Structure 1
């Protein structure tokens, strides 16, 4: 453990020196002078996003900044963006072998490579209203976090058959077409995309904290299908879609047709946003050892002032004839994840209720404090393998050293509440304490 911690500190020192001479003004990614939408409600930096939930947003310049990789390739004059990030992390935990059901920082008392991400990103021009515009997004990751984004049918044998510690996942692969004359603008997204309506994000660069809430851990990560987003005036967007189910490719034998219907509203003063609806609705029947989660979800964002804001999310999920523990991993057990093989059948419906609140305080142009409180009731053990309610409580501080490097230390406590249920540390503990941090280096 000491050797791994030394490597993490050494990597931190080297990268800070390498990127120390950067203009902090280049952190800003949103050009509010070029848009036909409301001004950004949040400051980014230091927050990971400047907008309320509800991507894609129509009527803003969504083009990413020019990062060092793009400059090194000599492609600064194209609208195509090529960029990525490296995200190693370390944690100290009261558990010895596994932090599960905590996600992302899964392996206790260890330094791991959570994510290496690479994006090829071309955004359509949705500010103009006179011509059709097209774009695409391809995001690939390598690291331990592939375990949580993997979808059956996309190189999924790494996890579902082999239970590998590290793996690769092409988690976003979609095209975008913008039609300016439909409503006040419409974007059609086709391919594999991130499940809508989460406060938390799959990518380290877009998330408030290093770790994730328990309720985020067990909900859908990606869909493959089509989604149409309609701009309806200045305050509303509507999303209508169809997909093959959560975390599964359409060509897989576990795919099922699901519908999606979401709406996003922002108040006139931009201090409140509500985004929610039906994330998945179909047969809802567990199929060929894979989940088919049905989900209704809502998020509420509230800005108290320019310094303090909070985000709250609630969901309800269900499916029929599921197994304890959900989707089956058939690979050999690993010390950090021993819950392989099929769990016991759950007759009828299995459901889960989740809620999370994020409370953020901007400390400076490069720092913020985040407090997260999270509740998950996995009533029949379908999502975590243990029939119990949980809570987790996390406090973290995020600091930007410069536009491309940030560190996210945090402390966390979580526990299960059912009598005689011990889900932590491979089934021997009722609760868990941890301190963790990751280092994000964008390139």
Structure 2
């Protein structure tokens, strides 16, 4: 049976179960992103990402994402803020601890890799994914101008997931738990310009505003993320504006120095922008974001994984090129686009449906043209989510996805890949989440799993999140 038919049959089977599929929360569509970076020494990707993104500036005009609602609920506990005596202060402090285990039944790969599953990328092992702390003074949405800031600190295995090229290179052991990152570090301002019209400005390092899911564990419905999140930019450094025009429309525009990279005077800036829209009844949202600009590196980086554990998505190097100037840096334009549509269904809005389509294309990538010359690479995909709130404490989630890598640039081989994931969010307490999931990945023609011997892989995983 063709791969796409398996996806449809699996999703329909889940719909037939009583009380399934479910992840309640508000519809997504505005902020979020998760991206992966390619490992040094080749074009394939090992995570780098984005959650949340530009959620704060657009929250007034776009219905909150599932992740945003989740974060708000977690923040209501204010355990850490109360402990520090800051529960009434303008500056808020909160965070979460996330641990997970991922099993691959019948498979015990020597390379310890789940291949296409991220961020729980280690097979048959525990991971301390995110020990996350946020310190922020968010901007207010009233009728006066005001300033804010945010600093995120991430400790745990996911440090490799969010890492920026040029920041902490060589500081931590790849795949290790003991790594630190600052995925968000920015200041922001909001200037009211009239009734339901306001300008927001953000400057620094921040998550991508594109996509349905997020890098942050509390801003996505499942432990694992889709391909279309994992192989797109996670974080940016630069400036971003959001112009709120009425209650339903926000325009986003900005300049960033490329995807998943730290400050460097040699970088040229890219355009990042798009639009967020929500319907008058609050049931439908639409978000469309585009990144255009150079995405190689001015110099080909080292292939030593200790010094350069990840590369920005779309960057390339090899032992023969390491250290040399890249003559194609200014001529290798990357175009990334993501469009997300969501809809709330039912009288009580307990069902949420979301669809996302995303693509990346980039020219003049060394080694991908005829005879090893520079050529164009492309990868793209689409995903569908169905979320249902069965009870205030139990939610079900279903996701299906098709992803195509035309050149074997981010995945082990040029092929069409599929994933089907079903899971639950169980919340015994508002600040305690337990999320089991079952996921099946397969490639249409090649055998990327179990050290290159199988065409498919089943993973059984769960994570536990404690918010404070």
TM-score, structure 1 length as denominator? Answer: 0.79
Equivalent runs, 1:159-198 vs 2, <5 Å: 162-166=173-177, 167-181=179-193, 184-198=197-211
Q: Residue 318 in 1 paired to residue 333 in 2?
A: no
Distance 1:392 1:116 in 2: 27
C-alpha deviation, 1:85, in angstroms: 0.7
C-alpha deviation, 1:116, in angstroms: 0.5
Equivalent runs, 1:143-222 vs 2, <5 Å: 143-158=156-171, 162-166=173-177, 167-181=179-193, 184-222=197-235
Is the CA contact (8 Å cut-off) linking 2:28 and 2:354 kept in structure 1? no
* Other structure's SS at 1:70 match: helix
Comparing 289-298 and 172-181, the one that deviates more: 289-298
C-alpha deviation, 1:268, in angstroms: 1.3
Is the CA contact (8 Å cut-off) linking 1:152 and 1:249 kept in structure 2? yes
Per-residue CA deviations over 1:31-64 (Å, capped at 9, x if unaligned) read xxxxxxxxxxxxxx97465664242325489985
**Structure 1 residues 285 and 75, CA gap change in structure 2 (3 angstroms):** closer
Is the CA contact (8 Å cut-off) linking 1:286 and 1:319 kept in structure 2? no
Partner of 2:321 in structure 1? Answer: none
Q: Residue 244 in 1 paired to residue 269 in 2?
A: no
**Structure 1 residues 252 and 363, CA gap change in structure 2 (3 angstroms):** farther
Is the CA contact (8 Å cut-off) linking 1:48 and 1:205 kept in structure 2? no
Distance 2:409 2:366 in 1: 6
Unaligned runs of 5+ in 2: 1-21, 32-54, 302-310, 316-333
Partner of 1:31 in structure 2? Answer: none
Structure 1 residue runs of 4 or more that deviate by more than 6 Å after TM superposition: 60-63
Distance 2:397 2:373 in 1: 37
Distance 2:169 2:355 in 1: 32
C-alpha deviation, 1:75, in angstroms: 1.3
Is the CA contact (8 Å cut-off) linking 1:322 and 1:345 kept in structure 2? no
Alignment match of 1:120 (pick from 119, 135, 139): 135
Distance 1:440 1:265 in 2: 31
Partner of 2:383 in structure 1? Answer: 356
**Structure 1 residues 262 and 346, CA gap change in structure 2 (3 angstroms):** farther
Distance 2:28 2:421 in 1: 23
* Other structure's SS at 2:450 match: helix
Comparing 377-386 and 112-121, the one that deviates more: 377-386
* Other structure's SS at 1:245 match: strand
Alignment match of 2:30 (pick from 53, 56, 70): 53
**Higher RCO (C-alpha 8 Å, min separation 6):** 2
Q: Residue 80 in 1 paired to residue 91 in 2?
A: yes
Distance 2:287 2:354 in 1: 11
Distance 1:164 1:90 in 2: 15
Is the CA contact (8 Å cut-off) linking 1:152 and 1:248 kept in structure 2? yes
Distance 1:110 1:323 in 2: 36
Unaligned runs of 5+ in 1: 1-44, 326-343
Q: Residue 233 in 1 paired to residue 274 in 2?
A: no
Is the CA contact (8 Å cut-off) linking 2:23 and 2:221 kept in structure 1? no
Alignment match of 1:423 (pick from 448, 451, 456): 448
TM-score, structure 2 length as denominator? Answer: 0.75
Distance 2:281 2:163 in 1: 39
**Structure 1 residues 366 and 50, CA gap change in structure 2 (3 angstroms):** farther
Alignment match of 1:406 (pick from 428, 433, 436): 433
Partner of 1:7 in structure 2? Answer: none
Equivalent runs, 1:282-321 vs 2, <5 Å: 282-285=293-296, 287=298, 288-289=300-301, 290=311, 291=314, 293-305=334-346, 306-321=349-364
Is the CA contact (8 Å cut-off) linking 2:29 and 2:340 kept in structure 1? no
Distance 2:146 2:373 in 1: 48
Partner of 1:269 in structure 2? Answer: 281
| Aligned residue-pair number | 373
Is the CA contact (8 Å cut-off) linking 1:158 and 1:164 kept in structure 2? no
Alignment match of 1:111 (pick from 126, 147, 154): 126
* Other structure's SS at 1:148 match: helix
Equivalent runs, 1:326-405 vs 2, <5 Å: 347-405=374-432
Question: What is the alpha-carbon root mean square deviation over aligned residues?
Answer: 2.4
Is the CA contact (8 Å cut-off) linking 2:366 and 2:375 kept in structure 1? no
